[in-house]
Amino acid sequence: LHLPGAAARRRTVVLFGDSLTQQGFGPGGWVARLAEALQRRADVLNRGLSGYNTRWARLLLPRVLPGEGVAPDLVLLFFGANDAALPDRCNARQHVPLAEYAANLQAMAEHARGLPSRPEVVLVTPPPVAEAAREAHINSDHANDGTGGSGERLALERTDAAAGEYAAACAEVAARLGLRCVDLHRGLKAEPGWEALLWDGLHFSPEGGAAVFRLVMPAVEAAGLGPGALALDYPDHKDVDSADPAAALGAL
C-alpha cells in the first residue's frame, strides 16, 4: 500500500488546453473518465480555457504552471483547434498562423518540461472537424443570435484539412522534442462513424469523450501513471479493524 507521510505527495496530472479540455469534466467527458480511472491514486487538474489559442495560452503558462505550488508528474498540452480557425471567417480572432502555433507549442512544452518536478510532457493534436455538422451548428447559432435575419449563411470557419495541418505540426514538435504525442486527428478518424463523436463538428459527444480517453490513456500509462502502476492512497477500508482503527491508521 502507498501510505503518504509527511514527505510523500500524491501524483498529479495537469491538462492544459482549450474548450476540448475545459468541457472534459462534462457527462462522459474524457477528463472525467481519466479522473475516475486515477481516483485515489492521482489528482487530475483540468486547466482548460474555452476559446483559447496557443498565443494566449503561452502568455498564461507561467501562472498555470508556476515553478512553485504545482508539482505535476505529467502535463498534457492540448491546443490547436482554435489556432486552426480560418483567418477570413467568423472566428478569425482565434486564428494563429501555423508556424507561430508550432513555436508557441514548443515553448510551452519546454517550459513544462523544465519545471522543478521534471514532469513527463505529452502533446495532444487537435481532432478532426466534421464539416457538415460544424456548418449546420454555426448557422443554427447565427440564426438564433439576432444577426442572421438576412438569411445569409455563414461560411465554414474550420475545415478538416486545416485541422490536419495543425495536427501534423503538433506531431512534428513532439518528435523534435522527443515527446509522446496523442494524434487525435488520425485516431478519431479510425473510429467507425467518427463524425458522430463530434456533436457540433468540433466538440466531443459522450461517445467522443470515451474515444479520446481510450487514445489518451496509453500515454498516461507510458508515463508510469496508469491505475495499474499506482497503489491506492491509504489502506483499503477492509484492512481497517473497526475495533482498533489506530492499528492501521494511527501511524500514518
Which residue is it, cell 504545482? 70
For 135, residues 6+ apart whose C-beta sits below 8 A from its C-beta are 154, 156, 201
How do residues 185-231 score in pLDDT, each as one tens digit? 999 999 999 999 999 999 999 999 999 999 999 999 999 999 999 98
C-alpha cell at 239: 484492512
Could you give the dihedral angle defined by the CA atoms of residues 235, 240, 246 and 250, in that order, rounded to the nearest 10 degrees? 0
C-alpha cell at 22: 475545459
Q: Which of 194, 202, 43 is nearest to 133 (CA)?
A: 202
Confidence check: pLDDT of 4 > 50: no
Tell me what percent of the residues of the chain surpass a pLDDT of 90: 78
Q: pLDDT higher for 73 or 232?
A: 73
Q: What predicted TM-score, i.e. pTM, was given to this entire model?
A: 0.91
What phi-psi label fits residue 124: left (phi over 0), alpha (psi between -120 and 50 degrees) or beta? beta
How do residues 91-145 score in pLDDT, each as one tens digit? 899 999 999 999 999 999 999 999 999 999 999 999 999 999 999 999 886 555 5
Pairing of strands 180-182, 11-17: unpaired
DSSP assignment string, 74-91: EEEEE--TTTTS-TTSTT
Q: Give the distance from CA 7 to its chain's centroid.
A: 30
C-alpha cell at 52: 483559447
Name the β-bridge partners of 43. Answer: 12
Q: Would you call 205 a catalytic residue per the annotation?
A: no
